[in-house]
Structure 1
Amino acid sequence: MPKICKITQKKANNGYAVSHSHVRTKKRQEINLQNKRIWSNKQRKWIKIRLTTKAMKYVRKFPVLTEIC
């Protein structure tokens, strides 16, 4: 299962870990995915989706976003 948010479509970011001597090694900055159970008005049932914590804030503020799922 890919590590992608179902609502925001965010995925991992490539970056560098920089040491004290400025030696750069590649690393991946993974997103903060959480499993969440959300009520879907369209399907009239609870659905389980993987969301980023940022998307959880959006869903709490704008419940209409659950219609996407």
Structure 2
Amino acid sequence: MSKICTISGKKRNNGYAISHSHVRTKKIQNVNLQTCRIWSTKQKTWVKVQVSTKAMKTLLKKRISLKK
């Protein structure tokens, strides 16, 4: 499964790891994804999704019920 947040659409970021001698090597910064369940009002069931932690904080702020 790809590492993309289903709600916010966040995905990995390319960057450089810079050593002490300033040698640059490519590195990938992945998204912090967590599998959680979100209550679907249309289907009246819990739906399992992969969500980034930033999106989880936003959902909790908007009072949308979710379980880890």
Q: Do they fold alike, i.e. is TM over 0.5?
A: yes
Shift of 1:12: 0.1
Task: Report the count of equivalent residues.
Answer: 64
Aligned to 1:56: 56
Between the aligned partners of 1:4 and 1:38, the Cα distance in structure 2 is: 17
User: Is residue 2:31 matched to residue 1:31?
Assistant: yes
Counting only pairs closer than 5 Å after superposition, residues 2-21 of structure 1 correspond to structure 2 as 2-21=2-21
Higher-helix-fraction structure: 1
Q: Percent identity?
A: 61
What runs of 5+ residues in structure 1 fail to find an aligned partner? none
**Root mean square deviation of aligned Cα:** 1.3
Between the aligned partners of 2:27 and 2:43, the Cα distance in structure 1 is: 39
Instruction: Output the amino acid matched with 1:9.
Output: G
Following TM superposition, the consecutive aligned residue runs of length 4 or more in structure 1 with deviations greater than 2 angstroms are: none
Shift of 1:38: 1.2
Aligned to 1:22: 22
